[in-house]
Amino acid sequence: MSSEAACYTRRIPPPAKHSIETLKLRDIAERLACRLEGDGDVEIVRVAGIQQAQEGDLTFIANPRYLTQLATTRASAVILGRTRPDDAPPRCAVLHTDDPYSAFARAVSLFADDTPPPKGVDRLSAVANDAAIGADVSIGPFVTIGSGAAVGARTIIYPNVVVGPGARIGEGCVIHSQASIRERVVIGDRVTLHDGVVVGSDGFGFARQKDGSHLKIPQHAGVVIEDDVEIGANSTVDRPAIGETRISAGAKIDNLVHIAHGVTIGRRALLAAQVGIAGSTVIEDDVMMAGQTGRVVRHRSPGHRARRLAKGVGGVPPPAVAEKTGGRARAPNRRARGEARCMPDIDGSLIGRAVLAACLAFIVAARAAAQQPIVGPVPPAPEFLSRYDFHLTAAALLTSPIGPQGITDERFSWDTHFGGSFDLVDYVGGRAGVLVDFQAVLGSEYRPFDPNQGNYTLETFASARSGSTEIVGMFHHVSRHLSDRPKRMAIAWNELGGRLLHRATLGATSVDVDLEGGRAVQHSFVDYTWLGELNLLVRRPLGDHVGVFGHGSGQLFAVDEAVAHRGSQAGGLIEAGVRLNGRAGAIELFAGYEKRVDADPLDRLPQHWGLAGFRLLSR
């Protein structure tokens, strides 16, 4: 070999010989805080799955369905949870614990072959003179640390990492190769960033100009990664123009995840691969999002919501699970009793889509816009299936443009109802029956007449009459869904309460009063504790087939302030119109104004709009 070639050739040393580290089972039991049953002198060399385990291996069982495999495993010991009296005894030593899966995780760490870079700062790194470097750090070659940056004690930084000026990294962190920590980013203690992570890149913010071009909005605000966060390979966390992007303590983020500008990720949240979180979104504590889910965002104006800018999961409240887009909607173990698992997708008319649309607007608004309960006529004798009322309503929602660019909220264009009530039995002194209502709110986000919200209400009631007054006990279930938008958590509640109905007549004019209230005895996601409503319906005939009417309602919701950090909510509706009577039914043409509480079921904001529509009623 020539001397010139030798300059570029490096002798490769033989591979290092690693002795197999073993631990006695009694030592493992002590470190894992498990109760040992069997020979504590058994030597354990690794942790393995129950089917692959050999002599010298430690295995585990976290799911009872695999208990039958204890009879055939060749492992020397098993980590085991609670067993049933009729389970066959294991053939090997046992480490008993109430949480076998966590014990397994800690056992794996006992045998992990970690080879961090040597302590100190590699001579091939570039560290600014005014950077603060803590004790016992390991900084590999080709690492760049900018002016004014700080690295905490015992932090490990692998080769080819860039730490920008003014960035701060806490103690005990692990930063893998090719990660980029941009200027002024703040990272807490015990944070792990895997290969290729970028923290603090510019958020995607542009202002559209009159000529159609896009003016970049400078993205100079902060990013904060709190303690004990782990972020997977090639994930990105953007900085916003104002405010901050924050990943709260204990959150775990998989590979290829994008966190946009101004996002807040809650404590202990879990985000699997290819999740995308749109700007300014808040993900609450303990949320889990599975692969390829996304988060809808709507930029917020004071007191209003504007154009939807991204599509995906419609909301992620605590503690919810968002699963892969395209699967069947399934809520985790918090699904309200009686809630349908799914609603079929049917192409058809506006009303057909409204019936089967998915996120519901809200029970009181549903009853207000549908048919108000009124005092039932008294039969001469007890009757079975004595009465049936049908209603079908469609109203255009007249929303005002938002902001200087005149953006309209594309979620709210139409409100529709379809349903009825019937008396199962009328026992003269009162009646018992069922009420059903489907509601859909339609917008124009994806297409004209896009059913983005829907709701069903199921109610049973029984009453007692006293003259022109009826006292009603009721139990109803409300369930809210999304249409064409993945939503895996249940939004539902059950209410137990009462209703007072009274009719008064002033000449030809009739006045119906409906006063009701109840307690939310079960709820998922919503923060309601008590619900109250007052309805007033005034009708006056102008002839045999024509009349006029006015209707007003008010709603009050007491809430659990610890859930959404807000106080009691109030809404209302007022409408007036013309009633056209026929032999078998009536049509009401009406216009009015409404303030609807929690108009979108996930952002917990009220909406105001004018409305105009029709209502088809049975006689």
The sign of the CA dihedral 77, 81, 82, 86 is negative
The number of angstroms, rounded, from the C-alpha of 124 to the middle of its chain's C-alpha atoms is 46
Closest CA to 547 of 558, 532, 537: 537
Q: What is d(CA 521, CA 495) in angstroms, rounded to the nearest whole number? A: 6
Closest CA to 166 of 130, 125, 138: 130
| Catalytic site residue from 261, 417, 476, 523 | 261
Long-range pairs, 90-94, Cβ under 8 A, ≥24: 92/38, 93/25, 93/36, 93/37, 93/38, 93/39, 93/40, 93/42, 94/36, 94/37, 94/38
Helices (H), 535-615: 561-564
First to last CA, the chain: 105
- Cβ atoms 237, 226 nearer than 8 A: no
Distances (CA, A) of 400 to 14, 35, 403, 573: 75, 67, 10, 17
Q: What is d(CA 338, CA 15) in angstroms, rounded to the nearest whole number? A: 64
What SS3 class is residue 279?
coil
At which residue do the structure tokens 């961090």 appear? 116
Distances (CA, A) of 109 to 121, 136, 230: 26, 21, 16
Distances (CA, A) of 38 to 73, 78, 129, 365, 400: 16, 11, 58, 65, 74
Structure tokens at 531: 């619900």
What SS3 class is residue 413?
coil
The DSSP element (H or E) to which 131 belongs, if any, is none
Closest CA to 281 of 295, 294, 270: 295
Respond yes or no: is residue 261 known to be catalytic: yes
Q: What is d(CA 514, CA 461) in angstroms, rounded to the nearest whole number? A: 14
Residues in the chain: 619
Q: Which residues are catalytic, by number?
A: 261
